[in-house]
Amino acid sequence: MRRYAVVGGGISGLVAAFRLRRMLGPAAEIVLLECGSRLGGCLRTVELAGPVDVGAEAFVGRRPEVPELLAELGLAEQLVHPSGLRPSIWADGVLHPLPAGTLMGLPAGPDAVAGLVDAGTLARIAAEPARPLRWVVGGDTDLASLVADRFGAQVVARSVDPLLGGVYAGRSATIGVRAALPALAARLDAGAASLSAAVAAALPPPSDRPVFGGVRDGYGVLLDALRRAAAATECRAPFVGLSRDGAGWQVDPVGRVDGVLLAVPAPAAADLLRGVAPVAAAAAAAIPSASSAVVALAVPADSPLPPNSGILIGTGEPVGAKAFTFSSRKWPHLRGRQLAGRSVALLRASFGRYGDDAVLARSNPELVATAVADLATVTGVTVTPLAVHVQRWPAALPQYRPGHAGLVAAIESSVAELAGLEVAGAYLGGVGVPACVAAGSAAAHRLMAR
């Protein structure tokens, strides 16, 4: 009987186990190792007047991976889309509409950020195409340096950083152009005459498809379906050892297997690879992570919140939260929730960016109080929570710093030399759920092909 080990029970690992089961059939044994108390990694659904996601809540709707996976698992009816309301940005003490037609907050011209930045910044953006652009083909830099030089610091703080804070729990000063915005880097490599021209060329074409999607009853239903379909032997114990054993591998604590797929965060991958792939281990160890926290609140349904899907917070503003999501306005399926016979609205406050681990030092009551106070600051509305859930995500989001693509290449090329060993995870090809689904599937297929 063939035997394989998947280490890590997040979405990448669960998808990998599911794919292995589909390829190997019912006779093979697939062992799923998870050292935590639950499966799902950074995806979690809890009860708060019904199921609510307190990790990732959406995925990029223009990517096919999640809708196709839902359909494959018989969950096509779970696919939902947002209401169409847009978020605002709170900057300089004022709420502004989220700029349209930008690339992760980078404008192709001044009109995109008119009203969000001052007149001097608009003039700088308008004049940018006439300034010589210095870009090293194949090189990399952090987004803040590039954008501040070409467009000004206000574009960084008020447009780019608020969006990056949600995707990476980071700031543009620590996020590399090549890894975070590969389409932009490709246009710059191809000789774009200006940053404005590169952004315009990298913008996705207009589409009628929804930008985002979600799972009606929460990601928990997807995780449960993957778990059932994978039919893996679950081992809830620390994974403490990996070594070659002839044509196979020894995995402590589960014994000999024909192949191993590591779907764990970068620091754990570094520890596990150190004895068998030292180059890959060193590269993985060089990828840092950011911690974050989500405060989910059920408040009276008549709370007079702004008519938006949420609020993103600019850098340097005097609040602790980095964003608010008005979940019941963003997602139609969350409207009309009841708690003890009372109609409620759901919202989320998000905390934490790279380098700011102090957020995890606050107690749950402190985080809830900060969320309520910050919401009052940015909206003028004081809410009374009827129920709360505080979710902490320590070291959960890998940081795609300048040079990240080189680290990934080193990991993948080193592991490729070892038959029967593969890696997957958010630190490799993207932090979003579709990227993790793709990574888990690709790793499982590579493992079988080799």
**At 257, which CATH number?**
3.50.50.60
Residue at which a domain ends, from 138, 173, 202: 202
pLDDT tens digits, 212-256: 999 999 999 999 999 999 999 999 988 778 999 999 999 999 999
Residue 208 confidence class, pLDDT cut points 50, 70, 90? confident
125-140 confidence digits (pLDDT tens): 999 999 999 999 999 9
Average pLDDT over residues 280-289: 97
- Which of residues 445 and 205 earns the better pLDDT score? 445
| Domain identity same for 274 and 405 | yes
158 part of a folded domain: yes
User: What sign does the CA torsion over 119, 121, 126, 131 have?
Assistant: positive
pLDDT digits (tens, 9 = 90+) for 406-426: 999 999 999 999 999 999 999
CATH assignment of the domain containing 115 = 1.10.3110.10
User: How close are the terminal C-alpha atoms of the chain, in Å?
Assistant: 18
Let me know if residue 49 belongs to a domain: no
Over residues 312-325, mean pLDDT: 94
Are 198 and 120 members of one domain?
yes
Tell me the two tokens of residue 180.
Answer: 């975070």
Short-list 203, 226, 218, CA closest to 105: 203
CB 277 within 8 A of CB 357: no
Number of domain units in the chain: 2
Residue span of the structural domain in which 194 resides:
102-202
Residue 182 falls inside a structural domain: yes
Same domain as 158, residue 117: yes
Does residue 24 fall inside a structural domain? Answer: yes
* Strand 259-262 to 59-60 pairing: unpaired
- Based on the domain organization, do 262 and 409 belong to the same domain? yes
Q: Provide the residue count of the chain.
A: 450
Whether residue 395 is contained in a domain is answered as: no
User: Phi and psi at residue 339, in whole multiples of 5°?
Assistant: -135, 115
One-letter amino acid of 309 = S
* Assigned token pair, 197: 């021209």
Mean pLDDT of 334-343: 95
Please tell me whether residues 124 and 179 are part of one structural domain.
yes
pLDDT at 68 over 90: yes
Task: Tell me the pLDDT of the chain averaged across its residues.
Answer: 95
Q: Say what the pLDDT of residue 384 is.
A: 95
Single residue among 172, 202, 232 that ends a domain in this structure: 202
**Has residue 243 been placed in a domain?**
yes
Q: How far apart, in whole angstroms, are the C-alpha atoms of residue 180 and residue 168?
A: 9
pLDDT in tens, 361-392: 899 999 999 999 999 999 999 999 999 999 99
| Percentage of the chain modeled with pLDDT above 70 | 100
207 within domain boundaries: no
The tokens for 323 are 């964003």
Residue 321: closest CA among 396, 377, 244, 264: 377
Structure tokens at 109: 């011209």
| Residue 225 and residue 190 share a domain | no
Closest CA to 36 of 236, 332, 245: 236
User: Are residue 178 and residue 229 in the same domain, yes or no?
Assistant: no
Same domain, 187 and 113: yes
**pLDDT for residue 179:** 86
Quick: pLDDT tens for 80-124: 999 989 999 999 999 999 998 899 999 999 999 999 999 999 999
Q: Are residues 181 and 253 in the same domain?
A: no
245 with 187, same domain: the answer is no
Residue of 285, 264, 236, 228 whose CA lies nearest to 421 = 264
Residue at a domain's end among 160, 178, 202: 202
In a domain, 356, yes or no: no
If residue 160 lies in a helix (H) or strand (E), which one and from where to where?
none
For residue 210, pLDDT over 90 is answered with no
